[in-house]
Amino acid sequence: MTSLILRDPTAETSTLSRTRKTPPENLEGKTVALMDIGKMRGDEFIDRLEQLFDEKGIATKRYKKPTNTRTAPHQLIQQIVSESDVVVIALSDCGSCTSCSTHDLNDLDNLGIPGVSILTEEFRNAFNGQCEKIGFEGASIFTPHPMQNKTREELHAFADNVFEEVINKITS
């Protein structure tokens, strides 16, 4: 008699949700990783965040994923872990990039790098649902949707509007 093993192909769920790592008390002497997920115009949003951090004397380091439709490569995650203290992931505005960015945020947090994911409002439920499914209380900030049809000035204004919230989410 041959035995047959069946596997459930549905997503695993966690009954427990782990809180994210406690971010540093402040950013003095810290480096903020700015992870561009590769969405069109996201770099302009991150450009402005980088300027705002620079104006406050906070060190940043830029990183870019090769594609927004997959999680960050292991090598990129390891580089961020070795070079940074906290991470800001931006700018998710669709389902697959929201899912991948949420996993990136979780992976970095598991490796000791707390952070925040910036997404458009349209994907609030997707982010929250993804966090629930993977059992992670991830930090998020939401901007208006859509972003790709905005001017550079509008993108910079959105970054200006969320900057203090970013600081609050990446510090304790």
* Cα(78)–Cα(7) distance, integer angstroms: 32
- What value does the mean pLDDT take over residues 2-29? 78
* Cα(107)–Cα(138) distance, integer angstroms: 11
1 falls in which pLDDT band (50, 70, 90)? low
pLDDT of residue 157: 97
Looking at the predicted structure, is the pLDDT value of residue 22 above 90? yes
pTM of the predicted structure, to 2 decimals: 0.90
pLDDT tens per residue across span 152-168: 999 999 999 999 999 99
Residue 103's Cβ-count burial label (10 Å; 0-12, 13-18, 19+) is middle
3 state DSSP class of 74: helix
Share of the chain above pLDDT 70, in %: 92
pLDDT tens per residue across span 78-129: 999 999 999 999 999 888 999 999 999 999 999 999 999 999 999 999 999 9
pLDDT of residue 110: 96
Inter-helix orientation angle 152-169/42-55, to 10°: 60
Query: How high does pLDDT run on average in the chain?
Result: 93
The first and second tokens of residue 166, run together, are 């970013």
Looking at the predicted structure, is the pLDDT value of residue 47 above 70? yes
Domain 23-169 grouped into CATH 3.40.50.10140: yes
What residues does each domain of the chain span? 23-169
